[in-house]
Amino acid sequence: MRVLFMGTPEFAVPCLHMLVEEGYDVVGVVTQPDKPKGRGKKITPPPVKEYALKKGINVYQPIKLKDKALNNILTEIKPDIIIVVAFGKILPKYILEMPQYGCINVHASLLPKYRGAGPIQWSIINGERETGITTMYMAEGLDTGDMIIKKKTLIDPDENAGMLHDRLSVLGAVTLKETLKELEDGTIRRIQQADEEATYAPMLNKTISQIDWSKPATEIKNLVRGVNPWPVAYTQYQNEMMKVWAVDVSDELVNATPGTIVKYVKNVGLFVKAGDEQCVIIKEVQFKGARKMTIDAYLAGHSIKIGEKLG
């Protein structure tokens, strides 16, 4: 089976690795163009490209998917199937209709919930207790195609988006392997999505990550978890941005204005009143021009006044 792989970030690499290790004939990889990254804005290739080149696989990086050059390349390659994992763009109709066995996508949610670009982050922000991987046949809509296999996994209450991302990327490869086996065995089934049950998970931006201290403590914790490692939750202390990397929730009930710094307990954290009666316990922070550190390490060289307000 001639496989064309379309993917871009680190999340997609385990699926490509599985295809290579299982001996599939990966005839090419289509990925996003190299982009500037980091403080130095160094032009950096996508993780999928780096892996593909190491394995000697031809890589194509079209600026637009409707380019005639890409059409000609795919027509020449003649893939039997196209596997798409976190590619980052909606595929045009000519690509969807090209391969004999269609285009199969690996999506990081239990469809039809969390269609879109940010399913991992939003599942945590919204306090979901489980998520998973869905493989599906691709259609022209956004994650609307018929489902094939769904695999569930529990979300740990202290798991952040980066941790869940890494687990789901591995689960995605396992699910894709089973999906392709069913395809080869002729046992594959198409399960239509219930559109009325669909929810949308848009791409994150920095505006979502500002902490609203009037929210309940658990909601604030979910936000902090969901935007770690990007774009990272933040608040203000004395008009200076304070990134908040990790928090917990205190069982202690407190009567104070939301955002008030209630107390500091060494080896536990900085207690900040939330919108309900509970406190959020800040455990890791980062100020401008400094590295991420525990609140204990920060307070060893700086002061934060009890009674002042964040935000």
Mean pLDDT of 144-169: 98
Q: How confident is the model at residue 38, as a pLDDT?
A: 81
**Residue pLDDT, tens place only, 50-79:** 999 999 999 999 999 988 889 999 999 999
Q: How confident is the model at residue 68, as a pLDDT?
A: 86
Residue 37's pLDDT band (boundaries 50, 70, 90)? confident
Model pTM score = 0.96
Tell me, what DSSP letter sits at residue 11? G
Q: How confident is the model at residue 171, as a pLDDT?
A: 98
What string of DSSP letters covers 96-163?
HTSSTT-EEEEESSSTTTTBSS-HHHHHHHTT-SEEEEEEEE--SSSS-SPEEEEEEEEPPTT--HHH
Whole-angstrom Cα distance, residue 62 to residue 192?
A: 32
Lowest model confidence (mean pLDDT) among 174-178, 205-209, 259-263 = 205-209
Q: How confident is the model at residue 61, as a pLDDT?
A: 96
**Residue pLDDT, tens place only, 237-288:** 999 999 999 999 999 999 999 999 999 999 999 999 999 999 999 999 999 9
Q: How confident is the model at residue 12, as a pLDDT?
A: 98
Residue 187's pLDDT band (boundaries 50, 70, 90)? very high
